[in-house]
Amino acid sequence: MKIGIITQARATSTRLPAKVLLQAGGRTFLQHHLDRLAATGLPVIVATTTNSDDEPIVEQTTAAGFPVFRGSELDVLARFAGAIREHDLDGVVRVTSDCPLIDPGVITEGVDRFEAEAADNLYVSNCLERTYPRGMDYEIFSGPRLLQADADATIPADREHVTSYLHQNRTGDMRLLNMPWDGGDGSQYRLTLDTPDDRQLLTTLIEEFGAADLNCADLVAIMGKHPELHALNEHIEQKKLGE
């Protein structure tokens, strides 16, 4: 089974424009993100848009040696489907580029479970019921199933949010599997990049605590010992589907 990671990235984010191109510790958040994904040993594809604003994303990705697929900005489902076809993927790990500290070990655990089950109708994620911090999220599913979703999905939210056709079980036969964190509960923490306050936290973690080399458990331990870090972005409300 050929499984690859597809991460979506664009420069026209609303709350923090060009956020993945901002720097911490001498590297962009996109470069940190790709470093973490590469550590899984899986193929990594960046799915970005055809907009000229995203040229810097393409340049950084190709300079790092990763392939890029460019497609629609709004129809992200079609963008993913195009990347799946181009790279002939049987299975897909979907992540987003606003997770610069995503733990490769967490992803690998999910992939191992997906491969062990070997079921076309299986959807594996670690955030169906949240125990991990935001910023560690992944989804794993069959490539052919997403291609079928691309062919059949008509609801605008399904086109924009990629996987809702699967995890909302529009076909009636999907099996959803949540992978909880066995290290406890880190769901109160935000290690994702969406606002200036998120940026401040992530920059502090990278530049003062060496976070680029730490795993999820290490990061949660730091957050627990330093409530002043948690205070930097604990007030941020996550954007909901459709916002």
pLDDT in tens, the chain (243 residues): 999 999 999 998 888 999 999 999 999 999 999 999 999 999 999 999 999 999 999 999 999 999 999 999 999 999 999 999 999 999 999 999 999 999 999 999 999 999 999 899 999 999 999 999 999 999 999 999 999 999 999 999 999 999 999 999 999 999 999 999 998 899 999 999 999 999 999 999 999 999 999 999 999 999 999 999 999 999 998 655 444
**What ranges in the chain are assigned the alpha helix state H?**
29-38, 55-63, 76-87, 104-117, 143-152, 156-161, 164-167, 196-209, 216-225, 227-233
**What ranges in 88-195 are assigned the alpha helix state H?**
104-117, 143-152, 156-161, 164-167
Rounded Cα distance, 43 and 89, in Å? 10
Task: Return the CATH number of the domain spanning residue range 3-187.
Answer: 3.90.550.10
Would you give the end-to-end CA distance of the chain in angstroms? 35
Q: CB-side exposure of 205: number of CA atoms within 13 Å?
A: 36
CA distances from 166 to 10, 92, 158, 219 (A): 23, 13, 9, 31
CA distances from 243 to 127, 161, 199, 227 (A): 19, 11, 20, 29
Q: Residue 16: which residues within 8 A CB-CB, separation 6 or more?
A: 22, 193, 194, 195, 196, 198, 199
- Choose among 191, 221, 217, 224: nearest CA to 206: 191
Rounded Cα distance, 141 and 4, in Å? 11
**How many other CB atoms sit within 10 Å of the CB of residue 25?**
17
